[in-house]
């Protein structure tokens, strides 16, 4: 069970006649994305449509913010596809991204219970390393701990990537109570702790990009 919210961070997808997917953007990792097998191509296969899709990436990659899922959901929305169970087979975050807003998500992602929208500002901390989602869930099963805290995956993510624990301790001491986003590696703090200014800050685990954003309704 997860509470999910939409943030004011977006990728842009442009559809035209033809086939093929291309990715653009200056964010780290964009040039390394697989253009033949990705969530956009899988979403197109699911809806049985062909299109040329240009994706301009603004959502940080590999940080647990659901950028790939949001791109897949954009394809489903473009195709008028609304089967949440089928969408969940692309990825557990895709059904929520299809609906957006704020919701409680259960099952394999196909059960999306809308919640009242809450306008919130959050500060995101984006380290240069990522956390492998599959390894994180495997570590969660191995730890066998009773869920605790706002994100039950936190201890598992720390096991997979020990630098994350050090980063969160540093954020706690300098900016306020930190919370892991999904399986990481993005960490967030409620509120705007940097006066709305995006910047790179030095941390004990290296440079960290800091972004201030807000929740948005469906």
pLDDT (tens digit, 9 = 90+) per residue, 13-41? 999 999 999 999 999 899 999 999 999 99
- Over 70: is that where the pLDDT of 146 sits? no
Question: What percentage of the chain reaches a pLDDT higher than 90?
Answer: 87
Chain mean pLDDT for the chain: 95
Which domains, ranges and CATH numbers included, belong to the chain?
Answer: 2-114 (3.30.230.10), 121-216 (3.30.70.890)
Q: Dump pLDDT digits (tens) for 206-216.
A: 999 999 999 99
- Over 80: is that where the pLDDT of 165 sits? yes
CA 20 to chain centre: 24
Q: Indicate the pairing of strand 2-7 with strand 102-106.
A: antiparallel
The pair of structure tokens assigned to 50 is 């062909």
Beta carbons within 8 Å of 96's beta carbon, 6+ residues apart: 4, 69, 103, 105, 109, 112
The pair of structure tokens assigned to 15 is 């559809």
Q: Dump pLDDT digits (tens) for 122-140.
A: 999 999 999 988 899 999 9
Q: Is 2 left (phi over 0), alpha (psi -120 to 50) or beta?
A: beta
- Over 70: is that where the pLDDT of 148 sits? no
The residue whose two tokens read 């956390």 is 131
Whether the model pTM is above 0.85: yes
The pair of structure tokens assigned to 213 is 């954003």
Q: Dump pLDDT digits (tens) for 41-97.
A: 999 999 999 999 999 999 999 898 999 999 999 999 999 999 999 999 999 999 999
């Amino acid at each position: 069970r997860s509470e999910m919210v939409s943030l004011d961070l977006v990728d842009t997808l442009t559809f035209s006649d033809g086939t093929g997917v291309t990715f653009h953007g200056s964010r780290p990792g964009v040039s390394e994305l697989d253009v033949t097998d990705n969530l956009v191509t899988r979403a197109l296969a699911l809806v049985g449509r062909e299109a040329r899709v240009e994706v301009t990436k603004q959502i940080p990659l590999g940080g647990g913010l659901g950028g790939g899922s949001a791109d897949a959901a954009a394809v489903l929305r473009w195709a008028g596809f609304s089967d949440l169970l089928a969408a969940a087979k692309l990825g557990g975050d895709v059904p929520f991204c299809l609906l957006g807003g704020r919701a409680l998500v259960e099952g394999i992602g196909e059960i999306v219970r809308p919640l009242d929208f809450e306008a919130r500002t959050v500060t995101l901390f984006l380290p240069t390393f990522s956390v492998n989602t599959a390894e994180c869930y495997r570590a969660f099963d191995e730890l066998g701990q009773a869920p605790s805290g706002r994100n039950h995956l936190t201890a598992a993510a720390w096991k997979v990537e020990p630098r994350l624990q050090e980063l969160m301790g540093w954020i706690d001491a300098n900016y306020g109570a930190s919370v892991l986003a999904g399986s990481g590696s993005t960490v967030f703090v409620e509120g705007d702790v940097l006066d709305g200014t995006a910047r790179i800050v030095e941390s004990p685990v290296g440079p960290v990009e800091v972004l201030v954003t807000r929740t948005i309704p469906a």
